[in-house]
Structure 1
Amino acid sequence: MFTGLVQGLGTLQSIDSDKLRITCLPPSSELIMLDLALGDSVAVDGVCLTVVDILSQGFIAVASPETRDRSTLGSGAQYVNLETSLKVGSKLGGHFVTGHVDGTGTLKSAVQTATSWEMIFNTASAQVARYILSKGSIAVNGISLTVADCNPEGSCFMAAVIPLTYAETNLQYLVPGSLVNLEGDILGKYVEKFLRLGAASPEDLGWDSQVPRSLENMTSTFLAEHGYL
């Protein structure tokens, strides 16, 4: 689990069909390497990878063919965003990011304003678009961003990126057409599933027949009768 608050940049090099060499760049390399251990999870451009070897200024990670196909890791990105996994008790300044990207998108435009960079992204993936909504959270290359606006389908959205985030992540290197990894808010995915299951009959799901058939029937009276209040 990650927060979407990038700790530094690195470079990526493919060294085998399933292995990647990630070199951490200063000045944040010490932060990434501080207590890195074999088996640790690191978000590389928003993709959760497992450390299988530790180098003096970086690490080797395994990326399956599916991971490469679903993300930008197979496209030879020059700079990648890095974040080590969330530790118990750490501050959660972004939002919960799993590192399991839903798909990719492209940068449409980036315009600098007096207070931010207004960046517009497109995605052709319905799996991504379904979780994008105005004022919701989205991870772009592992960066926790807030959707400022989007079209009804969610296939085009805009995020206002503060100068600090822009300058310290690989957003600064993107040009129109650049591919990015996208991960929707995991909370929205669970809500969607609960609503979908709520529309099905308890018998179809193998549940007790007393389970309410919709969220509207999940009343305080029902909860009290079944020992939840």
Structure 2
Amino acid sequence: MFTGLIQALGTIQSLGNDRFDISCCAGSSDEILQDLAIGDSVAVDGICLTIEEVLPQGFVATASDETLHRTTLGQRQNSAAYVNLEASVRVGSKLGGHFVTGHIDGIGCLSESLQTPNSWEMYFQAPASFADLWKQQVSRYLIPKGSIAVNGVSLTIADCDSQGQWFKVAVIPHSYSQTNLSHLPIGSWVNLESDILGKYVEKLLGNQVATSGSLDEISPSFLVEHGYL
């Protein structure tokens, strides 16, 4: 489990089809490297990877075929030069972002980035080759003021269209400068993870419709019974 608050920037190098060497950039590595151990989880651009080998300035991890298909790890030519890194949450840690699992739903594409006096407004949509995956796994969870992780960065959706074909986020200067969002040229592909709470709500509502044929039985008592109030 992660929070979407990035701790360091790093670089990534392929060691073959599914193995990667992830190195922390100088000057930003202490928080990540201080207690890394084999078997630990680290979010790399929002992708939960398991450490197989600890290196002096980073680690080695392997990605499954599913991860390569669904994330930018299999599409590095369209991605940022740097990757965002976040170690998994420890018991007692502050939860300053939102609950991020590191399980990517799909890939998005940066279509526009505008600097305003207080933030950067960034627009994302589906790249053509991933449009179907976006529609199935990403667009239905996009709502204004909802949470989304972009390359592992916890962000709030400022706006989106009703079909979920695009969304906009407002990135504050600190988040922009401390993450690889500031290194994304237009057209870059990013990893997207929608809010896990929306997925569970959808599952419960879907089960309710399947058994009753309507949503009439969704009530406060039903939500309490299932842990939502």
Is TM > 0.5 for Structure 1 vs Structure 2?
yes
The answer to whether the aligner puts 1:216 opposite 2:184 as a matched pair is no
Give the paired residue count: 214
The answer to whether the aligner puts 1:114 opposite 2:117 as a matched pair is yes
Q: Which residue in 2 is equivalent to 1:205?
A: none
Between stretches 24-33 and 54-63, larger displacement belongs to 24-33
Q: Which residue in 2 is equivalent to 1:63?
A: 63
- 3-state secondary structure, aligned to 1:201: helix
Q: Could you report, residue by residue, the CA deviation over 1:107-130 in whole angstroms, capped at 9, with x for unpaired residues?
A: 011010000000010023111111
The correspondence of residues 37-186 of structure 1 with structure 2, limited to 5 A, is: 37-76=37-76, 77=79, 78-123=81-126, 124=131, 125-126=134-135, 127-186=137-196
- 3-state secondary structure, aligned to 2:118: coil
- 3-state secondary structure, aligned to 1:145: strand
- The higher relative CO (CA closer than 8 Å, separation ≥ 6) is in 2
- 3-state secondary structure, aligned to 2:11: strand
- 3-state secondary structure, aligned to 2:39: coil
Q: Distance in 2 between matches of 1:159 and 1:198?
A: 32
1:30 deviates by 1.1
TM-score normalised according to structure 2 size: 0.88
Higher gyration radius (CA): 1
The answer to whether the aligner puts 1:198 opposite 2:208 as a matched pair is yes
1:85 deviates by 0.3
CA RMSD of aligned residues (A): 1.9
Q: Which residue in 2 is equivalent to 1:36?
A: 36
Q: Could you report, residue by residue, the CA deviation over 1:48-70 in whole angstroms, capped at 9, with x for unpaired residues?
A: 00000000000001111221111
* Alignment CA distance shift 1:215-1:53 (3 Å): farther
- 3-state secondary structure, aligned to 2:148: strand
- 3-state secondary structure, aligned to 1:49: strand
Q: Distance in 1 between matches of 2:220 and 2:171?
A: 41
Contact 1:198 1:215 in 2 (8 A): no
Alignment-mate amino acid for residue 177 of structure 1: G
TM-score normalised according to structure 1 size: 0.88
- 3-state secondary structure, aligned to 2:138: helix
- Runs of 5+ unmatched residues, structure 2: none
1:215 deviates by 6.3
1:214 deviates by 4.9
* Alignment CA distance shift 1:58-1:200 (3 Å): same
Q: Distance in 2 between matches of 1:71 and 1:177?
A: 15
* Alignment CA distance shift 1:219-1:137 (3 Å): closer
Alignment-mate amino acid for residue 196 of structure 1: G
1:216 deviates by 2.9
Contact 1:109 1:175 in 2 (8 A): no
Alignment-mate amino acid for residue 105 of structure 2: D
Q: Could you report, residue by residue, the CA deviation over 1:66-125 in whole angstroms, capped at 9, with x for unpaired residues?
A: 211110012224210000001111111100001000000100110100000000100231
- 3-state secondary structure, aligned to 1:23: strand
1:217 deviates by 5.6
Alignment-mate amino acid for residue 175 of structure 2: T
Q: Could you report, residue by residue, the CA deviation over 1:132-182 in whole angstroms, capped at 9, with x for unpaired residues?
A: 110000000000000000000112010000011100100011111100000
Q: Distance in 1 between matches of 2:170 and 2:204?
A: 31
- Runs of 5+ unmatched residues, structure 1: 203-212, 225-229
Q: Distance in 2 between matches of 1:79 and 1:219?
A: 46
- % identical aligned pairs: 58
Alignment-mate amino acid for residue 93 of structure 2: S
- 3-state secondary structure, aligned to 1:135: coil
Alignment-mate amino acid for residue 217 of structure 2: E
